[in-house]
Amino acid sequence: MYKPNYYEKKEESEQKRLITHKKYNVVEYRENVWKRAIPFINIMSLLTRILPINIAKKNLEKKRFKAGWYNMAWRYALLKRLGVRFIGNGYRIIQPNVCIYNPDRLSMGERITINDNSYIECSGGVEIGSDVMIGHGVSILSNSHKFDALDIPMNQQGETFDKIVIGSNVWIGAKATILQGVTINDGAVIGAHSLVNKDVIKNEVVGGTPIHHLRVREYDESIF
């Protein structure tokens, strides 16, 4: 049976305290835990600097399936060693079983959550802004197969690569697929199970396979 370690027990206790006092705010809570974890993360980052790349990759695979802040902190340090460019000091929640390939072509801001079973192929380059929520099972694919030649098997025709840019304050619903060359601008919402094969404008809400326009988010004073 799995037994939570000291850091996970402390996290659970803090969460219960916030809920009890009706001051629970997910971002504030995660920022507070991240700040307390920073000294530990800095030590991890120093340790991982001396790791050969192949050893860092193997360790990341081992930590990929494990839950809890302790293992997420290790994933952060190992991804940093493997070349991910982290911009800002806010939290990055990378849940278990998130696959990130060619991490040296990935950059991301702060206050980001990437949920379980997501797949990010960065060979063509992937940029993620700040305050981004990525649902579970999302695929972000900056490469694709060539298939134009009829006399050559498709698995021998090579690949194409094109950068994906995801702005800030973006919500990508569960099991959406983002294709190469796409830009998702700030404030956009991508519906669950959507196929994003074209750019999404600022504050646009889209959904479908392939995506179509649903509406544009507008400021509503009545909810504030």
Q: Which residues are catalytic?
A: 145
The encoded tokens of residue 154 equal 């498709």
Question: 211: which residues sit within 8 A by CB, 6+ positions away?
Answer: 190, 191, 194, 195, 196, 197, 198, 200
CB count within 10 Å of CB 46 equals 10
E-strand ranges in 29-170 read 85-86, 92-94, 99-101, 106-108, 112-114, 119-121, 126-128, 133-134, 139-141, 143-145, 159-161, 164-166
Work out whether strand 126-128 and strand 164-166 pair parallel, antiparallel, or are unpaired: parallel
CA 43 to CA 190: how far, in whole Å? Answer: 37
d(CA 140, CA 195): 10
Decide if 143 contacts 180 (C-beta within 8 A): yes
